[in-house]
Amino acid sequence: MKVAVLAGGRTPERDVSLRSGHRVLVAMHELGHDAMLIDPAETPLAETLQERSPDLCYLTLHGKDGEDGTVQRLLDLLDIAYTGTSAFDCEIAFDKLLAKDALDRAGVRTPAWAPIEDAALRDLGGGAALSRAVERVGSPSVVKPSRSGSALGVSTVAREADLAAAVMAALSFSGGVVVEAAITGTEVAVGIIGTPGEVLPAVEIVPKGGTYDYAARYTAGATEYFAPARLADDVAGACADAAMAAWTALHLRDVTRVDMIVDGAGAPWVLEVNVSPGMTETSLLPMAAGAVGMGLGELCDAVIHSALGRRPTG
């Protein structure tokens, strides 16, 4: 089968995406596919895809254009099958402001949050509502760009006086910001693959520096991981249920990673979902698969088969 692995792009996660893409490319070759890697920042994507006419695009683009529905819509137009969630649902899942709303409506537990949008600040005097955000969310809070990944632009705010600076920093990455209640507990990631979704064991994340920031994610050895997570059976079950509830609520497909925190009482709080989870050597999804004896090749194979099980959504 002819597979185009899409990786790279123009976002700050470009390097991470290329690392993911190269690993998937190797896996594709090992599976015997005629695979090539296409970096949309290096090659005109639509033109190249029309020339090469692959049977399937394996998406390992991260961030804007790659996870927000943009590339998915283009592939729909070109009538090329691709791995992962549909364009519309990507748009919801990628934007934390929309995704948290959708999760909340579906009864999935997600930390209290307040939205802050660039346009509301500039044009609607939204700055006057900043104290309401603090009231709603409490302290400490975590300030995140609504449409970005890899913890870029994320900061923890303990004092209200620091909130404005954190909001400005996050707005550098995205037009919207989520101010979210900081939940103390164990950080875990739950992968789901295939159709219908198979839940993989939770991976526990223990950053040595205390915060799972960009450096902790991409410096080998900066974070300890446990797979499966060191959770009691009922808690692990609750995590799997929460992940599946998020998967269903957001209409996710083929492959996803749900990030959550398990609080002191053993309740999981869903923070976000990733429609194109990292596949690098320090990434969580391959670890989760490894915990059930599934190598990267088998993981990618499951994703491909799931995607090929349907026609491209025209």
Partner 1 sequence: MAELSIDRFVDLYAHRTSGMSASEVRALFAVAARPEVVSLAGGMPFVEALPTGDILDVVQEVVDQQGAMSLQYGGGQGHLGLRERLAGLMAAEGVIGDPDDMVITTGAQQALDLIGKIFIDPGDLIAVEAPAYVGALTAFGAYEPRYLQIEIDDDGMVVDHLQEAFVRGERPKFVYTCPNFGNPGGVTLSYARRRQLVSLCREAGVPIVEDNPYGMLRFEGEALPALRTLDPDNVLYLGTVSKVFSPGVRVGWALAEQSVVQRLVLAKEASDLCGSSFTMLMTERYFSDEARWRGNLATMTELYRSRRDAMLGAINEHFPDGAMWTHPAGGFYVWVTLPEWFDTRAMLAAAVERRVAYVPGTAFYPDGRGGNRMRLAFCYPPEERIREGVARLGDLLEDEQVLYRSLHP
Of 183, 190, 158, nearest to 261 (Cα)?
A: 183
Q: Which of 226, 263, 294, 308 binds partner 1 (CB under 8 A)?
A: 226
CA distance 137 to 163: 12
* Contact criterion met (CB below 8 Å) for 304 and 84: no
Residues in 228-247 at the binding interface with partner 1, rule: CB under 8 A: 228, 230
Size of the site for partner 1 (CB under 8 A): 49
CA distance 179 to 1: 45
Q: Which of 1, 106, 158, 215 binds partner 1 (CB under 8 A)?
A: 215
CA atoms within 13 A on the CB side of 99: 35
Residues in 52-111 at the binding interface with partner 1, rule: CB under 8 A: none
Q: Does 253 bind partner 1 (CB under 8 A)?
A: no
The residues pairing with 258 across neighbouring beta strands, listed in sequence order, are 190, 273
Among 30-38, 71-79, 159-167, 257-265, which window interacts with partner 1 (CB under 8 A)?
Answer: 159-167
Decide whether 45 or 203 has the Cβ nearer to partner 1.
Answer: 203
Decide whether 193 or 205 has the Cβ nearer to partner 1.
Answer: 205
Residues in 171-190 at the binding interface with partner 1, rule: CB under 8 A: 171-173
Residue 186 beta carbon to partner 1: minimum distance, rounded to whole angstroms: 13
Among 11-19, 71-79, 254-262, 305-313, which window interacts with partner 1 (CB under 8 A)?
Answer: 11-19
CA distance 20 to 23: 5
CA distance 54 to 262: 41
The catalytic residue positions are: 13, 150, 218, 257, 259, 272, 274, 278
Q: Which of 167, 179, 183, 202 binds partner 1 (CB under 8 A)?
A: 167
* Contact criterion met (CB below 8 Å) for 3 and 30: no
Q: Which of 34, 281, 292, 305 binds partner 1 (CB under 8 A)?
A: 281
Decide whether 185 or 207 has the Cβ nearer to partner 1.
Answer: 207
CA distance 256 to 275: 5
- What order do you get walking across the sheet with 141-145 strand by strand? 113-117, 176-181, 141-145, 155-157
Q: Which of 10, 29, 73, 109 binds partner 1 (CB under 8 A)?
A: 10
Q: Does 207 bind partner 1 (CB under 8 A)?
A: no
Decide whether 252 or 284 has the Cβ nearer to partner 1.
Answer: 284
CA distance 248 to 253: 9
In this structure, is the dihedral angle defined by the CA atoms of residues 73, 303, 221 and 167, taken in order, positive or negative? Answer: positive
Q: Which of 4, 5, 7, 12 binds partner 1 (CB under 8 A)?
A: 12
By CB atoms closer than 10 A (0-12, 13-18, 19+), residue 105 is: exposed
Instruction: Identify the residue whose tokens are 């994320």.
Output: 154
Structure-block tokens of residue 129? 């509502």
Q: Which of 107, 221, 293, 314 binds partner 1 (CB under 8 A)?
A: 221
* Residues at the contact surface with partner 1, assessed by CB under 8 A: 10-16, 41, 118, 121-122, 125-128, 130, 150, 152-153, 164-165, 167-173, 203, 214-215, 217-228, 230, 281-282, 287, 290-291
